[in-house]
Amino acid sequence: MQIFSQISVYWVSEAVPLGAAALVPAFLYPMFGVLKSSEVASEYFKDTTLLLMGVICLAASIEKWNLHKRIALRMVMIAGAKPGMLVLGFMCCTVFLSMWLSNTSTTAMVMPIAEAVLQQLICTGIADSLDDSVTVDTQDEESGESERQSEKLADNNSKNSLKSFIPIVPKQAPISIPAPPKKPKIRRDSLYPTKRDHMICKCLSLSITYAATIGGLITITGTSTNLIFAEQFNNRYPEAKVINFGTWFIFSLPIALIMLMLTWIWLHCLFLGCNFRETCSLSKKRKTRRELLSEKRIHEEYQKLGPISYPEVVTGIFFILMTVLWFTREPGFVPGWTSLFEKKGYRTDATVSVLLGFLLFLIPARKPWPSDPLAPMITWKDFQRLMPWEIVILVGGGYALAAGCKVSGLSMWIGRQLEPMSGLPPWAVTLLACLLVSAVTEFASNPATLTVFLPILSALSETLHINPLHTLIPATMCVSFGVMLPVGNPPNAIVFSYGHVQISDMVKAGFGVNLIGVFVVMLAIMTWGEPLFHLSEFPTWALMRNVTGSF
C-alpha cells in the first residue's frame, strides 16, 4: 500500500519526471520482497510497446515526407474559408491525423498551418477595414451632394409657386436622414483588426486541441492512455478476448463523430455566435475579400508541396495496408486472416505494426533505384526523434504496479473497502468514475491518472459484480478530457503558446467540451456499447479472475 501511494503521489504531483517515477517499482518491489527483479523487469516491455514502435515508424514516414501536411491542406481547401467551415475543416483533418499520430505531434503540425491562415486573416482584415472606411466616406460625400441638389430644386419650385398665391405655411421641422451603418473600425490597442477577428482566432486555436483529443479516442494506438488500458486489461483478464483494434474502433468512432459535431457547435456559439448561415455558407457570391485571400493563401501553401511524390505514395499504401490488416485480423463476425495459420493466438496487432514498420527501413525512398547507396524511407534517427520512451517506461511502470497489487493482495483489499457502493446501479458507478477521473486529469497527467485509477476501478467492478468494461472504457476515454487548463495535456500548452487564447477562454470552452465528452461516453456505454461488449452480464473471465484473486 505504501509503495502504491508513493508512486501515485509522484505521478500526480510530478515532483520527479514521470518516466523516473515509473522506475520506482523496479527497485522497491525486489527490496521489500514483493516481486523478483526479473519478474519486475519483464513487466516493462509488453506487446503494446511493440505496437507503439511500429506505429511510430509509420508516423515518422508520414511526417518526413509531408503527407500529413498534404492531407491537412486538402481537407481545409475542401471546407473553404468561411469562419464556421474553416474551423470545421481544421477539426476534421486534425481528428483524422490524430487517429494515427500522437495528439501532441498532430497539434504541433496543424497549428502552424492554422496560424498562417489566421495571420492572413488579420492582415487582410486591416486592409479591408481601411477600404471600408474609404467606401463609407465616399458614400457620405455622394449622399451630401445629392441632398444639396434636392434642396436647390425645392427652392426654385417654391419661388414659382409663391407668385400665384402667398399663403401662410407653418415652418416644417427638418427631415433627419439616418447615417449609413459604420463598418467595424480598426482596434488600435489590439493585434486584431476587430473583436470578431479575435474571436475567430480563439475559436480556431481551441478547436485544434479539442479535435486532437477527440481523434485520439478513435484508435487503440491514438493515445498512450488507450494503450495503457489495453495492456493492463489484457494482463489482468487474459481470458477476455474482447479488446482489439476492430472492436475499439467500432465503439469509439460514433463517439468521436458525435463529439466532433457537438464541440464544433459549442465553439461556434461561444465565439462566433449562432448565425450558422452567415459563417457556413459555401456560396462563392457570399464570400468576402478576406475569405477569398485566405483561400488563396491555403492554395499557395498546397502548391508549394508540388505533385505527390513516390515516398508519399509508399507511405499512403502502408497506412492503408496497416489499417486493413488490423481490421481483418479478428473481425469477430467472420474469420480473420489469422485463421489461415495453424497455431492460434500468436499474432496480434503488434505483429502487423512491427512488420510494416520494419519494411520502411528497407524500402528505398527513390524511384527508380539509383546506383548510389539507397536511402530508406525512414532512418533510425527519424524513428528516435518521435519515439516517446518516457511513455514506454511509464506504461511499463503501470504494469509493474498492477502486478505488485495483484501479488500483494492490495487489489482485493481495495475492492472490499468499496463494498458500500454495491447499492448503486452500474450507470451511477460509471458516471461517478467518469466525473472523478475528468476532474483529476485537469491537474495531473493523463497516463499517470489512468494508471492509478485502473486497478481501483477493476477491483470495484469485481466487488460489485459489474462487467469491468462498463467502468474501465468510460474512465479511459474521460481521462483524455483534461482540456480546461494549459497544463492539462501537451496540445493545450502548444495552442496556449500562440497567444490567441487566455486561461479564462480555455476554462470556459473546456468546461463545455468536458460535459459533452462525459455525456457522449455515457450515451455510448448505455446504448451501442452494451451489445458490443455484452455489458449487461458479469462475464466468466471476470468471475475467474475474482475467484483466483480471492485465493
Kindly report, residue by residue over 391-417, the tens digit of the pLDDT: 788 777 777 876 777 677 766 676 666
Between helix 389-408 and helix 2-13 the angle, nearest 10°, is 160
Please tell me the predicted confidence (pLDDT) of residue 333.
62
In 10 A of CB 411, how many CB atoms? Answer: 22
DSSP class of residue 364? B
In which region does residue 169 sit, left (phi positive, over 0), alpha (psi from -120 to 50) or beta (all else)?
Answer: beta
pLDDT beneath 70, residues of the chain = 1-8, 10-14, 81, 120-121, 123-190, 281-288, 290-291, 331-333, 367-373, 402, 406, 410-412, 414-419, 422, 487, 544-551
In 10 A of CB 401, how many CB atoms? Answer: 26
525 grid coordinates: 456505454
What is the C-alpha to C-alpha distance for residues 152 and 169, in angstroms, rounded to an integer?
19
What is the C-alpha to C-alpha distance for residues 43 and 39, in angstroms, rounded to an integer?
7
Buried b (16+ CB within 10 A) or exposed e, 63-74: bbbbbbbbbbbe
305 grid coordinates: 508541396
313 grid coordinates: 505514395
Closest CA to 489 of 110, 219, 206, 104: 104
pLDDT per residue as tens digits for the range 444-464: 778 878 887 888 888 888 888
Between helix 468-478 and helix 446-464 the angle, nearest 10°, is 160
What is the C-alpha radius of gyration for the chain, rounded to an integer number of angstroms? Answer: 30
Please tell me the predicted confidence (pLDDT) of residue 495.
85
Helix (H, G, I), strand (E, B), or coil: what is residue 138? helix
Q: How far is CA 420 from CA 413, 417, 464, 466, in A?
A: 13, 7, 9, 14
Closest CA to 478 of 513, 504, 509: 513
Please tell me the predicted confidence (pLDDT) of residue 473.
94
Closest CA to 249 of 284, 274, 217, 288: 217
